[in-house]
Amino acid sequence: MNAPANPIKAPALPSSAAPRTPQWYVRVRDYLVQRTLPPVLIGGALLLIWQMLCSGPDAALPPPTQVVSDTWELIIHPFYDNGGNDVGLAWQMLASLERVAYGYLLAVIAGVSLGVLVGQSTWAMRGLDPLFQILRTVPPLAWLPLSLAGFKDSHPSAIFVIFITAIWPIIINTSVGIRNIPEDYRNVAKVLRLNGLEYFHKIMLPAAAPYIFSGLRIGVGLSWLAIIAAEMLIGGVGIGFFIWDAWNASRISDIILALIYVGVVGYLLDRLVAMVGQYVTRGTSAG
Amino acid sequence: MTPYLSIEHVEKRFERNGVSSHVLSDINLRVERGEYISIIGHSGCGKSTVLNIVAGLIDSSSGVVILDGKEVRDPGPDRSLVFQNHSLLPWLTVYENVALAVDKVFKRSKSRAERKEWTLRHLDMVNMSHALHKRPSEISGGMKQRVGIARALAMEPKVLLLDEPFGALDALTRAHLQDEVMRIQGELHNTVMMITHDVDEAVLLSDRIVMMTNGPSATIGEILHIDLPRPRNRIALANDPRYNQYRQAVLSFLYEKQRKVEDLGQRRQSSDSKPQAQARA
């Protein structure tokens, strides 16, 4: 089919292609200009302002250049281990992440189960919803003294604080998702006579997955917020206590570095849950 | 001879906030095996309620539905439904949507390979073999409805219930799908009960048209036998005097005998609630 067209087209191709810039170059350049340039410009401007504001001799906070020079040892040796609390920032981060992982996973299991119960049973909803609405407004740290009293140990107490912080949005979103399953899907299940288990994993979970994952995303953000605060109080290894320790030793630059790390890890946690959610719920939006 | 499907003295009353409304009154209908029945009536006359009672999704207030000698009490795969809004599960592919039904219904009676073959055959019957691994969001409305029909047929129902199956489609797609349904009906000889408010569709597809009076207390007004030879061709029938007589008969029932008498206030209300009513009808 193309054969007769080729002789005409062939000589035209090189002449038209030669002056044109390659396609990939245009795409990369556009991406850099449109996506990478704005944050780099704004970030640079903010660093400059910070540098100017904090460069005076009586400035309370160090400028960015001083932060980098003060914390250079911490930045280049994230995995050092001098025993006790004196370990690198990577270990501090991992200790915090481990607590979050335990508390958050427990919250996911309990939260989704309770959410399913409350979403499925009107009776359970009427009984449990007032309790949930009151308990979810309790600030995470307010649970800490109680859990220390109960567990008599700081490690499970921190995990409990994560758990109790993350569970409410998971319960509430899951139950809303289950209440919002379209009547049509329920009818399909009825006509097919799906049993409880089949209905649960073939209809209920996939239909409610977008709601469940928005709850999971809020939950992971909240638990990362709570762990820093909880660790400041319980001590030991962990990024929260590292910050508190740095404040007691007046190492302001260390605090700033730790805050940047906390922000980046929190962002990555959020992206991770969002990506898992996108993968699991692909195609779930009705079309 | 006892009929295959029989609806006897079915009544339906809804109770809401202490106000009781009588939706259906004394519905009696006998359907033979392999018969294609259309139920036509103005929106809100309760024709969907009749279908849902036969499906078992709604309980009747009194009266019984008997299918093949057994009373209908709850939903089941022997009365498969095709909904107006297709109701495919969006997280499953075309193949998986049909396979879900096939695997459940024939879990014991067919082997895995037989079930796969059965699923593919029904998707082929509605000409959807080219999109087995697409999700519902990636195919057109007409294709979704084909998959919905394949899913319903694959359950090998005793009676196929169609709830305005072509209502949400454009005219060309609708005509195309009607032809396909006629062709499939010619092969499988299913017993079909279809809700519609399209007069041409009813005359073209049906053996009998059940015309319902307006609610409240709606009941069956007239039943029209469509005595046209099959296979039917919409173009040839367009000039057939009998076809036009049947059409005329249905139209005069709907627009003369059962014309909706509404005052201005009601009309405004009904036009506001129309999308909802259509979705439910």
Q: At which residue do the structure tokens 């709907």 appear?
A: B254
- A14 CB neighbour count, 10 Å cutoff: 8
What fold is seen in the domain B5-78+157-280?
Rossmann fold (3.40.50)
Closest by CA to A147, choosing from A158, A139, A163, is A158
Instruction: Provide the shortest C-alpha distance from residue B26 to chain A (in Å).
Output: 26
Which tokens in the block code for residue B180? 């396909």
- B246 CB neighbour count, 10 Å cutoff: 23
Instruction: Provide the shortest C-alpha distance from residue A190 to chain B (in Å).
Output: 6
B46 interfaces chain A, CB cutoff of 8 Å? no
Question: Is B138's pLDDT higher than 80?
Answer: yes
Kindly state the average pLDDT of the residues B232-246.
90
Question: Is B277's pLDDT higher than 50?
Answer: no
3-state secondary structure chain B: CCCCEEEEEEEEEEEECCEEEEEEEEEEEEECCCCEEEEECCCCCCHHHHHHHHHCCCCCCEEEEEECCEECCCCCCCEEEECCCCCCCCCCCHHHHHHHHHHHHCCCCCCHHHHHHHHHHHHHHCCCHHHCCCCHHHCCHHHHHHHHHHHHHHCCCCEEEEECCCCCCCHHHHHHHHHHHHHHHHHHCCEEEEEECCHHHHHHHCCEEEEECCCCCECEEEEEECCCCCCCCHHHHCCCHHHHHHHHHHHHHHHHHCCCCCCHHHHHHHHHCHHHHHHHC
A182 interfaces chain B, CB cutoff of 8 Å? yes
Q: What angle do CA B179, B180, B183 make, to 5 degrees?
A: 90
Cβ–Cβ gap B57/A188 under 8 Å:
no
Q: Rounded distance, CA B272 to CA B267, Å? A: 9
Residue A284 has a pLDDT of: 58
Residue A19 has a pLDDT of: 60
**Which residues of chain A fall below pLDDT 50?**
1-17, 286-287
Question: Is B17's pLDDT higher than 90?
Answer: no
Tell me the whole-structure pTM to 2 decimals.
Answer: 0.77
Sheet containing strand B5-16, edge to edge, reads B19-31, B5-16, B62-67, B70-71
Q: For chain A, what are the domain ranges?
A: 20-50, 74-280
Q: How confident is the model over B105-121, as pLDDT tens digits? A: 999 999 999 999 999 99
Cβ–Cβ gap B104/A284 under 8 Å:
no
Helix (H, G, I), strand (E, B) or coil at A136: coil
Instruction: Provide the shortest C-alpha distance from residue B57 to chain A (in Å).
Output: 7
Which tokens in the block code for residue B169? 């489609």
Closest by CA to B90, choosing from B153, B34, B137, B144, is B137
Q: Name chain B contacts of A192, Cβ cutoff 8 Å.
A: 77, 100-101, 104-105, 155
Cβ–Cβ gap A191/B79 under 8 Å:
yes
Whether residue B231 is preceded by a cis peptide bond, meaning omega within 30 degrees of 0, is: yes
Kindly state the average pLDDT of the residues B222-229.
91
Q: Does domain A74-280 have CATH number 1.10.3720.10?
A: yes
Chain A interface test: which of B74, B87, B102, B103 (most A C-beta within 10 Å): B87
Angle between helices B94-105 and B141-154 in degrees, nearest 10: 20
Residue A59 has a pLDDT of: 84
Residue B1 has a pLDDT of: 60
Q: Which element (helix H / strand E) includes A156?
A: helix A154-179
Amino acid at A7: P
A194 interfaces chain B, CB cutoff of 8 Å? yes
Are the C-beta atoms of B226 and B207 separated by less than 8 Å? yes
Burial (CB count within 10 angstroms: exposed 0-12, middle 13-18, buried 19+), residue B186: exposed
A185 interfaces chain B, CB cutoff of 8 Å? yes
Q: Name chain B contacts of A283, Cβ cutoff 8 Å.
A: 90-91, 135, 137
Question: Taking CA atoms, what residue in B is nearest to A198?
Answer: B104
End-to-end C-alpha distance for chain B, whole angstroms? 33
Q: Rounded distance, CA B1 to CA B23, Å? A: 31
B143 interfaces chain A, CB cutoff of 8 Å? no
CA gyration radius for chain A?
A: 27
**Which has more pLDDT, A70 or B258?**
A70
A78 interfaces chain B, CB cutoff of 8 Å? no
Q: Residue A192 is nearest to which of B83, B91, B101, comparing CB atoms?
A: B101
Cβ–Cβ gap A191/B80 under 8 Å:
yes
Q: Name chain B contacts of A187, Cβ cutoff 8 Å.
A: 57, 75, 81, 83, 87
Kindly state the average pLDDT of the residues B88-98.
93
Amino acid at A269: L
In this prediction, does ipTM exceed 0.90? no
Per-residue buried b or exposed e for A232-265, using 16+ beta carbons within 10 Å of the residue's own CB: bbbeebbbbbbbbbbeeeebbbbbbbbeebbeeb
Which tokens in the block code for residue B96? 């998986």
Question: Taking CA atoms, what residue in B is nearest to A183?
Answer: B87
Which tokens in the block code for residue B200? 């041409």
